[in-house]
Amino acid sequence: MEQKPYRSIPISPEEITPKHLYQTRRQFLKQMGIVGLGAFLAGCAPGALESTPGTAAPGSDALGDALTDYDAVTGYCNFYEFTTNKETVDDLAQDFITQPWSVTVDGLVENPRTFSLDEILSGFEQEERIYRMRCVEGWSMVIPWQGFPLHKLLEEVQPTDEARFVAFTSALVPGQMENANSDLFPFPYREGLRLDEAMHDLTILATGLYDEPLPPQNGAPVRLVVPWKYGFKSIKSIVRISLVPDQPPTLWNTIAPQEYGFYANVNPNVDHPRWSQATERRIGETGRRETLFMNGYAEAVGSLYEGMDLTEQY
Amino acid sequence: MVKRGKAGWQKWLQVFIHAGAWLPIAYLVISALLNNLGFNPVETVMRFTGRAAVIFLLLSLTCTPAAQVFKLPWVKKFRKPLGLYAALYAGLHFAAFAIWDYGFNLPLIWSEIANKPFILLGLAALVILLVLAVTSFKTIQRKWGKGWVWLHRLVYAAALLVIAHYLLAVKGDLFSLQGAYTAPLIAAGVLLVVFLLRIPVIYRNLKKWWGRSSKPEPDLD
């Protein structure tokens, strides 16, 4: 079968930098010195040098963008049920209990079912997907996720013909989430996708990052990742997935529909009403880079939006 | 002797305020040197300097009503330095945005702020604060007389612009009060109190109340 351009590139085990090397890479690089750098890279990743353009080298995404540091991915993120502070959320979320955990899949399906975390982890082959993540606030990262396409789970429960949308709900645990009872947000966090978006192979349920189980602040134990949409669509710590006939209410779209559309596709041509979305700051880089239409995944997902006016349905 | 003693501790308070006003910059410089500005240093610095500017501006505006209500005329002296520090931090805030974040790429900056009231409001406030800063010298004040007083009342417009800028900077919807509004709402509340205290009926009554509840203290001097 011909490989589709958007598929995550299969990475053979010998191509992956071992974790102990990865985690001590700075020290290692320092020890190697600048002169040894080229030889080291060439020696470590022969496959990368020979690979065809557009495929991911280890340590980078399909566009050749370098992975964002593990410390940044896990130390800088939004999880408003804990706090609105992106840099203290990791501490506040540390005691979040994610085992036992279950995800109920119901609504317009032939086989409604509650999956335990073990069933999710062992019932679906976990694969690596290196995706760009673009936050609506104007920053971005490149993150190596472990997980599996959402369509594999949906195929098990078999959506009925009436199912048109998929509604997701996050856990809301007041005892463990400091901000859970805030009057400023209509928690629980909810998100939604059109069924064809949910069935797209790029859409995954992630269970890990950097070959580690998801840390709580990153949405443990299971979260959605939709790489061509703004980060707030990628709902964290999912407890319920419902197949529904109509467009479901979602948190940010409920708060400010004029600012956060249901689709929320990354689009440099459609500004947030209060700030531009034309550029972004890649965490770890200085300066700004241009934001890509559909976050660079337009070739893969453009057909989902044929005939739609994306400035109206943002 | 009595007078000098009073002036002495007021001087110390002045030193304390100036030292306090440079602390945020010292903190940022040390954090930068220790590589401790977080994962998004531009955002960290912009938030930090923005908050400092709001705090110093509100403190500056609090001086006059506080001096009136609590009958502490010397508090008025701090109005000007605190306002100058507000202008300094607002300037650093804008510099972080224009120079560090956007590399002084003017077309890009313009495309960011055109039709974006959020940034334009902040920019308008900055312009006012800078104009007030460069016209804050005593000689200019004396020369311009009444005109100077009117010009410097623009600080209230700047404060309103700054609070609007702050409220618009966070994600959410202001009218339904859904979003990350805690800090900007506190700032808006303080400004509201400051404005209320400028209403003669209110501050006169408060002054009376304060005069009654605080019994004449024995003169420590």
> Residue B113: is its pLDDT beyond 90?
no
C-alpha dist (Å) from residue A58 to A98, B40, B96? 30, 24, 34
| Residues A122, B111: Cα–Cα separation, whole Å | 49
Do A5 and A300 touch, CB atoms closer than 8 A?
yes
| Residues B91, B111: Cα–Cα separation, whole Å | 21
Residue with token string 């200019």: B140
* Closest-CA residue to B138 (of B128, B148, B129, B127): B148
**Opening angle at CA B96, ends B92 and B100, nearest 5:** 145
Phi, psi at residue A147, to the nearest 5°? 175, -155
Do A106 and A112 touch, CB atoms closer than 8 A?
yes
Do A5 and A299 touch, CB atoms closer than 8 A?
yes
| Residues A89, B61: Cα–Cα separation, whole Å | 34
> Residue A244: is its pLDDT beyond 90?
yes
Tokens for A7?
């598929």
> Residue A2: is its pLDDT beyond 50?
no
pLDDT value of residue A23 = 56
| Residues B99, B101: Cα–Cα separation, whole Å | 6
Q: Which residues pair with B116 in a beta bridge?
A: none
Do A310 and A265 touch, CB atoms closer than 8 A?
yes
Specify the pairing of strand B178-179 against strand B172-173.
antiparallel
Residue with token string 């880079």: A289
* Closest-CA residue to A167 (of A109, A222, A111, A247): A247
pLDDT-wise least confident of A28-37, A40-49, A140-149, A237-246: A40-49
Q: In this complex, which of A76, A259, A287 lies closest to B39 when CB atoms are compared?
A: A76
Average pLDDT over residues A196-208: 98
Task: Please judge whether B171 and A278 are an interchain contact, meaning their C-beta atoms are less than 8 angstroms apart.
Answer: no
pLDDT value of residue A30 = 46
| Residues B12, B78: Cα–Cα separation, whole Å | 12
Sequence-separated (6 or more) residues with CB below 8 Å from residue B58:
B159, B187, B190, B191, B194
Residue-range domain boundaries for chain B = 2-213
pLDDT-wise least confident of A54-63, A151-160, B55-64: A54-63
Phi, psi at residue B64, to the nearest 5°? -65, -50
Task: Please judge whether A283 and B39 are an interchain contact, meaning their C-beta atoms are less than 8 angstroms apart.
Answer: yes
Phi, psi at residue A61, to the nearest 5°? -95, -175
Do B60 and B82 touch, CB atoms closer than 8 A?
yes
Sequence-separated (6 or more) residues with CB below 8 Å from residue B173:
A255, A256, A259, B179
A11 pLDDT band (50/70/90 cuts)?
low
A20 pLDDT band (50/70/90 cuts)?
low
3-state class (DSSP) for residue A165:
strand
Average pLDDT over residues A168-191: 96
> Residue A3: is its pLDDT beyond 60?
no
B41 pLDDT band (50/70/90 cuts)?
very high
How many angstroms separate the CA of residue A84 from the nearest CA in chain B? 7
Average pLDDT over residues B30-50: 93
Task: Please judge whether B42 and A184 are an interchain contact, meaning their C-beta atoms are less than 8 angstroms apart.
Answer: no
- Residue in B36, B37, B40, B185 to test binding to A, most A beta-carbons within 10 Å: B40
Q: Which residue has the higher pLDDT, B31 or A14?
A: B31
Percentage of the residues of chain A whose pLDDT score is greater than 70: 82
- Residue in A76, A255, A271 to test binding to B, most B beta-carbons within 10 Å: A255
Q: At what angle are helices B41-69 and B2-33 packed, to 10 degrees?
A: 170
Do A245 and A253 touch, CB atoms closer than 8 A?
no
Percentage of the residues of chain A whose pLDDT score is greater than 90: 74
| Residues A146, A222: Cα–Cα separation, whole Å | 10
> Residue A35: is its pLDDT beyond 60?
no
| Residues B10, B75: Cα–Cα separation, whole Å | 9
Percentage of the residues of chain B whose pLDDT score is greater than 90: 62
Q: Which residue has the higher pLDDT, B6 or B205?
A: B205
Q: In this complex, which of B43, B116, B182 lies closest to A274 when CB atoms are compared?
A: B116
| Residues A116, A99: Cα–Cα separation, whole Å | 9
pLDDT value of residue A134 = 98
> Residue A114: is its pLDDT beyond 50?
yes
Task: Please judge whether B178 and A255 are an interchain contact, meaning their C-beta atoms are less than 8 angstroms apart.
Answer: yes
Do A192 and A264 touch, CB atoms closer than 8 A?
no
3-state class (DSSP) for residue A79:
strand
pLDDT value of residue A273 = 79
Residue-range domain boundaries for chain A = 13-305
* Closest-CA residue to A131 (of A277, A266, A288): A266
Tokens for B147?
């005109």
pLDDT value of residue B215 = 57
> Residue B153: is its pLDDT beyond 80?
yes
* Closest-CA residue to A174 (of A68, A98, A290, A82): A82
> Residue B197: is its pLDDT beyond 70?
yes
Torsion from C-alpha of B3, B4, B10, B14, nearest 10 degrees: 140
pLDDT-wise least confident of A105-109, A153-157, B12-16, B84-88: B12-16
CB pairs under 8 A between A and B: 71
> Residue A55: is its pLDDT beyond 90?
no
> Residue A203: is its pLDDT beyond 80?
yes
Average pLDDT over residues A202-216: 98
Tokens for B122?
């902040």
> Residue A205: is its pLDDT beyond 90?
yes
| Residues A287, A278: Cα–Cα separation, whole Å | 14
pLDDT value of residue A57 = 55
Give the class (CATH, top level) of A13-305. alpha beta
Task: Please judge whether B39 and A72 are an interchain contact, meaning their C-beta atoms are less than 8 angstroms apart.
Answer: yes
Q: Which residue has the higher pLDDT, B215 or B190?
A: B190
Over residues B133-144, the pLDDT tens digits come to: 999 999 999 999
Amino acid at B165: H
Average pLDDT, chain A: 86
User: Cβ of A283 under 8 Å from any chain B Cβ?
Assistant: yes
> Residue A233: is its pLDDT beyond 80?
yes
Q: In this complex, which of B103, B116, B181 lies closest to A275 when CB atoms are compared?
A: B116
Do A136 and B171 touch, CB atoms closer than 8 A?
yes
